[in-house]
Amino acid sequence: MKRSPHPVPLPARLAFTAWMLAWVPVIVATAGPQNFWWLCNVALFLMLWASWRPNRLLVSSQAGTVVLVGFVWALDLAAGLVLGGSPTGITAYMFNPDFPTIRRLASTYHLWFPVYMLWLCRRLGYDERGPWLQSVIGTLAILGGWWFGDPARNLNYTRAPFGIEQTLLPQALYLPLLCVGTVLLVYWPGHLLVRALHRRFAADVAGH
């Protein structure tokens, strides 16, 4: 029986794997393993798996977060290049000379990773259950960053939103609100954005 072709072409899988093999040591050396708790970093590892073992639901779970965060990150970086510094603090580290250049270069995946995610959705299809799964994965990543991360690192903004000192709420209340707020302000808006883009592309293909 003839096997069906792999939905993700081999060159794409090898290129993404090569990136991960280069990126992981850089992060470990310059930021430490705890940095992997960031939501987009978690997505990189999940997409490495999904590139080789295609799973439409897993890809769809990460697509909204990666595309929305990547879009905001790119806008903030562009504004920072014009203004001389990040206007929101999201990409402030990219303008900090104390950060190793190689680490800042390693963060540029935010510019191309959303494109890769949309391409994967095009190859595999988009699963509407994605944001539900991401609500679980993302919440675990936030809790992991809070539990295992150095408080000074503020992983996934578990200590201070966008680096702004948070003194109004006790941590026991702020953390659950952060998890819920991320679901409502990141995962689901990201889902709507990716679903709209996916449907638009499907319509364009059908029109031709």
pLDDT given at position 5? 81
Residues of the chain predicted below pLDDT 50: none
Residues 6 or more apart in contact with residue 47 via CB below 8 angstroms:
16, 59, 62, 113, 116, 117, 120
Tens digit of each residue's pLDDT (9 = 90 or more) over 134-183 = 999 999 999 999 999 999 899 999 988 877 777 788 888 999 999 999 99
pLDDT given at position 65? 98
Structural contact between residues 12 and 81, judged by C-beta atoms closer than 8 angstroms: no
pLDDT given at position 170? 87
pLDDT given at position 40? 97
**Spans of all domains in the chain:** 28-207
Query: Which pTM was predicted?
Result: 0.93
